[in-house]
Structure 1
């Protein structure tokens, strides 16, 4: 099938749902550890509490990719039904997670939230490959990254913003502040609304050969053999990209799970107070706990706001690439390599900055890495796989995202961080080192089609 080139606004419309998806991810990434700490989790427990996120991705994404490859409705298309189902479930989970009254409830809602986000997210990656000719693939993934950057920045600043509007950061012991609850409620609304926008403004191409499509769809009990076959016959370029993805996502999982405890403690000097160290029956002790807890909650707002900067810089990075890739050829390999190196430097700076204002520089550099991670690997991959299997291939490729996160959650972060010392900030050093290894792994990529493309001439 010859696919026509789409205008910027057509690509924008089909990618707009990612705004909501990123609201979900940014609120989860910026504030779940804060919720866990508020409910009494120790710093060393946080990575394991996060295991729900990557584990659900490992299970859900290949299944959704396989199912969406075999879905077709003249009215709803192939990928859009999954956008909508995921959005409804994600909005429900986003609204209720900050209302958790115990750690097990928060961890359970994280399972629901991450599974639901994955139901929406994986088909979005496949949609770009479905809709765009090869010459526009980098452009399409970069537009997605632009929207993701907007979502990351806005969502990461929501608790700080609603706090500035007068919503309280103060709460009783074990209760999440109202500023966080309001922020998550706004995120739930934006998630659903943005997905609906894409669903109703985007059309999809039908299968090229409907008879063959129906025959494949009619085959029963083929899911496991199909997944195993595609993993066994994985293109070499995909395997090499998997190495890069492993170290990239190990780094970002470390940031999402550990940035709040690391930065509130090391940079802001306001660690989460431990209830057991205070005698709550003595009014002075109770007052001291409340003061320390409020300071922690306010500095957590600022950590979230600083984390939003990496979304903003990834957006600027994506915007530059949008203009450049619309007309010119890029070397995806070297763009990705240097972006990851900058991100690694940004992480490693955090241990040595003299004040929290310097976190702006760190997160700007991290944003370059994030912008590239969200576009360049997918652009390289989509140029080297069978278009008819794009959904399941993207789902399998996302295993290279979730496996490093599981590795980090079950002890990888704590083990490697402790090699540097007992300070929590060492987790950010681990993230930086991991990104630098990911950057150097780009030398493995040698497939010319993956590395670059030549835009079609008008």
Structure 2
């Protein structure tokens, strides 16, 4: 077995620069889609349902892209064809979304945007594992985090810079998206495409023969692992039907049907797969994905619990920060008012701060992980985030809101770096794509749960007042930090 050569700083830059563009798209989406939806007339309580696109597309797209990218070998390489296809589609969605004529079109474009960004992003996670030796992967993922932070800073600041520096209007009549947001999306589309093309042009992926030599096997394409047929399909199906029945009979909110539908779909998929295995036809895409899910390494299972709690908190942050800040620090709940627009612009600044801190912290994470270990580093980061989330709805001064964002930035840096550095050391090289995709299930499932449940809970707990949601997010991060202690790190020392 031959060890992969270490990459220079320039090599790490080229491998990860595409993430600058990807995160530009994600940051524009996270900071402005709530504003777009509210500009087009939706209420706070309906926001989670409209945001359902993000978790659903991630749940469907990333495992499939991971599965196929492990098996794609062509003139453009193994992962880069997916970089290109996703970037082109995401560029189209970014250009179109601010001009959506209504809520339905805007929601459909969010599906296209989030799905396309997922197509591009998922192979980038595996790309680091493909290109770097194990001992350099923490540094590789930290470089990705730095570009994620830089892209998010640029995208988050774009609307307020355009409005306050260049005089582009930040308000618009009811039913229209402000011109500053429209122009920011156009600039972001160009940045996304250029950054991803940079990585495609400046990197050369290893050939199948080279990858096999690195792993010490004859081929990286063959998957001789036996197919597993889980028996839990009927239970998942029954659980989904039960949730749907309760929603119908108790008159609960319609978004809960989505959660029921996911449970039903997963149960049916397992039943169909088990029938196919019984007929000797189970070795297909569905069979391989379900088998890899059922046989994931123990360390990955433990880390999945941490991810579930972590991303529940993050999705709450992205949905509710704009209305919380507008209410608490700018004293407005009217999306058409100038005060609300100022609050929404300030959220762009706050998001830029936490992403900027994340970019800076990324350079310190490898050093800290070397000293105290990856999981201890991650636990500290999550606890910092919990404190930041708890402080957000308690601070009425816009400037003082920068303080919790520093803590959230530290957490965000760790969230984007440490789980993937830990995970990549536990996985076989030929399955990096599929396992990174399956790992994303535990990123999007909590988002799906938040999207399905938070609106209904909000109407019961505090209608029209979302401040309590960030307290829930803080508790979730504390749980994630505690659960990090149960994760077993890989044998290779973190660097």
For normalisation by structure 1, the TM-score amounts to 0.90
Shift of the 435–215 alpha-carbon distance from structure 1 to 2, 3 Å rule, reads closer
Is 157-166 or 425-434 further displaced after alignment? 425-434
1:312 aligns with 2:352: no
User: In structure 2, what is the Cα distance between the partners aligned to 1:436 and 1:168?
Assistant: 40
1:289 maps to what in 2? none
* 1:403 partnered with 2:439: no
Distance change (3 Å), C-alpha of 1:448 and 1:114: closer
Q: C-alpha distance in 1, partners of 2:469/2:353?
A: 19
1:101 CA displacement: 1.7
- Greater Cα shift, 419-428 or 292-301: 419-428
Residue 351 of structure 1, CA deviation: 2.2
For 1:417 and 1:10, locate their aligned partners in 2 and report how far apart those are by CA, in whole Å.
51
Partner of 1:388: 430
> Which residue is 1:248 aligned to?
310
Q: Give runs of aligned pairs for residues 96-175 of structure 1, distance below 5 A.
A: 96-164=96-164, 165-175=166-176
Residue 296 of structure 2 corresponds to 234
* Counterpart-to-counterpart distance in 1, 2:404 and 2:489: 33
Aligned residues: 431
1:364 matched to which residue of 2?
A: 406
TM alignment of 1:429-440, pairs within 5 A: 429-440=471-482
Does the aligned pair in 2 maintain the 1:417–1:426 contact within 8 Å? no
Distance 1:372 1:189 in 2: 28
1:155-234 to structure 2, matched below 5 A, reads 155-164=155-164, 165-207=166-208, 208-209=211-212, 212-213=219-220, 222-234=284-296
Query: Quick one: structure 1 residues 385 and 254, their matched pair in 2 at CA, closer, same or farther if it must change by over 3 Å?
Result: same
**Residue of structure 2 in register with 1:50 after alignment:** 51
For residue 414 of structure 1, report the CA deviation from its aligned partner.
4.9
Deviation at 1:41, TM superposition (A): 0.8
Quote the offset at 1:78 in angstroms.
Answer: 0.4
Residues 63 and 437 in structure 2, CA contact (< 8 A), matched pair in contact too? yes
CA distance in 2, matches of 1:298, 1:449: 47
Cα 1:336/1:57, change in 2 over 3 Å: same
Number of the residue aligned with 2:261: none
Residue 423 of structure 1 and its aligned partner are, at CA, apart by 2.6
Match of residue 70 from structure 2 = 69
**2:339 corresponding residue in structure 1:** 295
The equivalent of 1:337 in structure 2 is 379
How far off its partner does 1:361 sit?
A: 0.6
Q: Which residue of 2 aligns with 1:287?
A: none
Offset, 1:271: 1.6
- Who is 2:415 aligned against? 373
Which position in structure 2 is the counterpart of 1:453? 493
Q: 1:335 to 1:168 in 2, by over 3 A?
A: same
Give the equivalent residue in structure 2 for 1:283: none
Shift, 1:258, TM fit = 1.1
Structure 1 unmatched ranges of 5 or more: 274-291
Q: TM-score, normalised by structure 2?
A: 0.83
**CA pair 375-58 structure 1, distance change in 2 beyond 3 A:** same
> What's the CA shift for 1:302?
1.1
Structure 2 residue runs without a partner (length 5+):
225-280
2:256 corresponds to: none
Partner of 2:9 in structure 1?
8
Q: Check whether the contact 2:24–2:191 (CA below 8 A) recurs between aligned residues.
A: yes
| Aligned counterparts of 1:418 and 1:392: Cα–Cα separation in 2 | 40
CA RMSD of aligned residues (A): 2.1
Structure 2 counterpart SS, 1:350: helix
Counterparts of 1:30-49 in structure 2 under 5 Å? 30-49=31-50
SS of the aligned residue for 1:319 comes to coil
- Output one character per residue of 1:221-241: Cα deviation in whole Å (capped at 9) or x when no partner: 621111111111011111111
2:377, 2:444 → 1: CA distance? 23
Q: For the residues of structure 1 that align with 2:137 and 2:204, how far apart are their CA atoms?
A: 17
Superposition deviation, residue 444 in structure 1: 1.2
Indicate if the aligned counterparts of 1:416 and 1:430 stay in contact, CA closer than 8 A.
no
Note if 1:21 corresponds to 2:61: no
Quote the Cα distance in structure 1 between the aligned partners of 2:417 and 2:324. Answer: 28
